[in-house]
Structure 1
Amino acid sequence: MSTASERPRRFSMLRSFVLADLITLGNAASGTLSLFFCLNYLDTHERTYIWFALVLLPVALFCDVMDGTVARWRRKHSPLGADLDSLADVISFGVAPAVLGYTLGLRGALDMVALVFFVCCGISRLARYNVTASQLSDESGKVKYYQGTPIPSSLILVLILGVLFSTGRVHENLWLGAWQLGPAVLHPLSLLFVLSGNAMISATLRIPKP
C-alpha cells in the first residue's frame, strides 16, 4: 500500500519547471497570441491586429534565444526543456507564419497545400533535430551545426509579409498576383513557404550553430 509521501504531489509538473522553461512558455504564448490576433483581423479587418500578430513573432524568437541562455547561465535544465522548446517552436515559427500568410491572402487551394507542407516540414525538422542532436554534438555536448535551416528562419517570411502588408500588397493586391490552375488558385508568393520548408528538411544543407 502506497504512503502519502509516495503519491504524486498536485501540480508537481509545474513545480519541476525551471526559469528557462517559463521563458519557453513565453515563446509558445507569443505564437498563440499571434494566431488569435490573425483571427481577430479576419473578423474585424482592423489593421492593428495584424501589427500585433507580426510583432509577437520576434518576441517569440527573443524568448527562444533567451531560454537557452538562461538555462546555461543558471546551469539548470528540466527533463521537459527540449520537448517544450520544440513544441513552442512549432506554434510560433511553423503554424503562426502559415496562418499569417493565409490571413493576408494565401487562401487558394494550392496555397493551403503549400502552407500545410511548410508546417509539416517544420514539425519534421524539429523531430529530426531532437533525434539526431546527440549524434551531431561534439565532446562537450554542443551541437556543431544545424542540418537544414532552423525553424525560426521562417521569420524571414514574416518580415516579407510585414513589408507587403505595410505597402498594401496583400489580399487582392497580393504581390506576384495569382495563377488559375484548373479549378485551383495558386499565389506564387506561397512558393516561398515551399522553399522554406524544403530548406528546413534538407539533409545536405548544414548551418553552423553559434
Structure 2
Amino acid sequence: MSSQPNQPTPPEPPKSSASSGALPPEGPKKPFSMLRTFALADLITLGNAACGTGAVLACMSYVSAVDRKPIWTALVLLPLALICDALDGTVARWRRKSSPLGADLDSLADIVSFGVAPAALGFALGMRGGWDAVVFCYFVACGISRLARYNVTAAALSDESGKVKYYEGTPIPTSLAIVLMLGVAFSRDRVGEALWFGAMNLGPFVLHPLSLVYVFSGSMMISTIRIPKP
C-alpha cells in the first residue's frame, strides 16, 4: 500500500468580526462642544466672573486716575458677583440641568471675584507695600487651594443624597467681609496715607497692618474648621 505525502493544511479564512464576536472599530469621536453643553446656570456663573473682572478693572482705573467713581463701581459689582454665585446653583436645581463644565466654571469665577478682586481693591485703596503684595499673593493662593480641595473632597463629604454636609475651611466668598470693611474705610476717606493703622517699615519693604486681615481670611480658608452647609 503506497503512502501519499502529507499535504500542507490550507490556512483558515479570516473570521469576520461578526462571527468572532469582536466589535467593529469605532469611528472618530466627536469633538467636545463647549457651547452645546452650556446651561443657563453656566451663563449666570460667567456673570459672576464678569462682575469680578469688572471690579478688578475698576480698581485699576482708580489707581491710574484717582477718581472715586470706579471704587464705588467695584463695591457694587462684588456683591452682584455673590448673588450670581448663589443663583447659579439654585437655577441648576430648578431646571434640573447642569453641564460638565459647571463645577470648574464656578471655581474659576470665584477665584476672580472673591480672590483676585478683593486683593486688587486692597492694593488700590493704599496697601501697596512690598509685604502687602506678599500678603495678597498668599491670600489668592489660599483661595485657589481652598477651591481645589473642595472639588477633590466634595464626593467624600456628601451624604446619601449627594448633598455636601459641611464646608472644610471657610468658603471663599467670605472675603466679601474684607470688601465691606474697605468700603466703610473708603466712605470715610480712610484710604491711602490715612489708611487705618498706618504703615510700618519691616526690612526692605513696607507693611500696612490692615493687610493682615487678608492673612487671617486666607488662613481660615485652608484650615480644617468645619462650617455646616445650609
TM-score in terms of structure 1 length:
0.95
Residue 176 (str. 1) matches residue 197 (str. 2): yes
Residues 135-164 of structure 1, C-alpha deviations (whole Å, 9 max, x = no match): 000000000000000000000000001000
Residues 35-55 of structure 1, C-alpha deviations (whole Å, 9 max, x = no match): 111111111111000000111
Match of residue 229 from structure 2: 209
CA distance in 1: counterparts of 2:30 and 2:96, whole angstroms? 29
Q: 1:19 aligns with which of 34, 40, 48?
A: 40
Residue 99 (str. 1) matches residue 134 (str. 2): no
Equivalent positions of 1:70-149 (< 5 A) are: 70-149=91-170
Post-superposition offset of 1:8: 3.7
Post-superposition offset of 1:14: 1.2
Q: 1:152 aligns with which of 143, 168, 173?
A: 173
Post-superposition offset of 1:182: 2.1
Equivalent positions of 1:57-68 (< 5 A) are: 57-68=78-89
Post-superposition offset of 1:7: 4.8
Give the greater-gyration-radius structure (CA).
Answer: 2
Match of residue 12 from structure 2: none
Structure 1: stretches of 5+ with no match in the other structure: none
Post-superposition offset of 1:15: 1.9
CA distance in 1: counterparts of 2:139 and 2:89, whole angstroms? 25
Q: CA RMSD in A?
A: 1.6
Could you say which structure has the higher helix fraction? Answer: 1
Which of 81-90 and 36-45 deviates more?
Answer: 36-45
CA distance in 2: counterparts of 1:41 and 1:185, whole angstroms? 21
Specify the SS of the correspondent of 2:52: helix
Specify the SS of the correspondent of 2:160: coil
CA distance in 2: counterparts of 1:117 and 1:164, whole angstroms? 23
CA distance in 2: counterparts of 1:8 and 1:156, whole angstroms? 43
Please tell me the residue identity of whatever aligns with 1:149: T
Residue 185 (str. 1) matches residue 209 (str. 2): no
Post-superposition offset of 1:190: 0.5
Residues 9-35 of structure 1, C-alpha deviations (whole Å, 9 max, x = no match): 8xx311210000000000000000111
Specify the SS of the correspondent of 1:62: helix
Percent identity for Structure 1 against Structure 2: 68
